[in-house]
Amino acid sequence: MRKLGTRRDPGRAVVTGGAGFLGSHLSEALLDDGWQVVCVDNFITGTPANVAPLAGVEGFELLRHDVTEPLHVPGPVDLVLHFASPASPVDYLQLPIETMRVGSLGTENALQLAGEKGARFILASTSEVYGDPQVHPQAEDYWGHVNPIGPRGVYDEAKRYGEALTTAYRSVHGVDTGIVRIFNTYGPRMRPQDGRAIPTFIRQALAGEPLTVAGDGSQTRSVCYVSDLVAGVLRMAGSEHPGPVNIGNPHERSVREIAEDVVAVTGSTSRIEHIERPVDDPQVRRPDTTLARELLGWSPQVRWHDGLQRTVEWFADVVVSRPA
CA 267 to chain centre: 28
Question: What is the rounded CA–CA span in Å between residue 225 and residue 168?
Answer: 32
CB 268 within 8 A of CB 259: no
Residues with a known catalytic role:
155
Nearest Cα to Cα of residue 41 among 67, 75, 5: 67
Q: What are phi and psi of 216, to 5 degrees?
A: -90, 0
CA diameter of the chain: 58
Cβ count near 18 (within 10 Å): 31
CB proximity list for 214: less than 8 A, separation 6 or greater: 255, 274, 275, 276, 277, 278, 281
253-254 and 220-221: which strand pairing? Answer: antiparallel
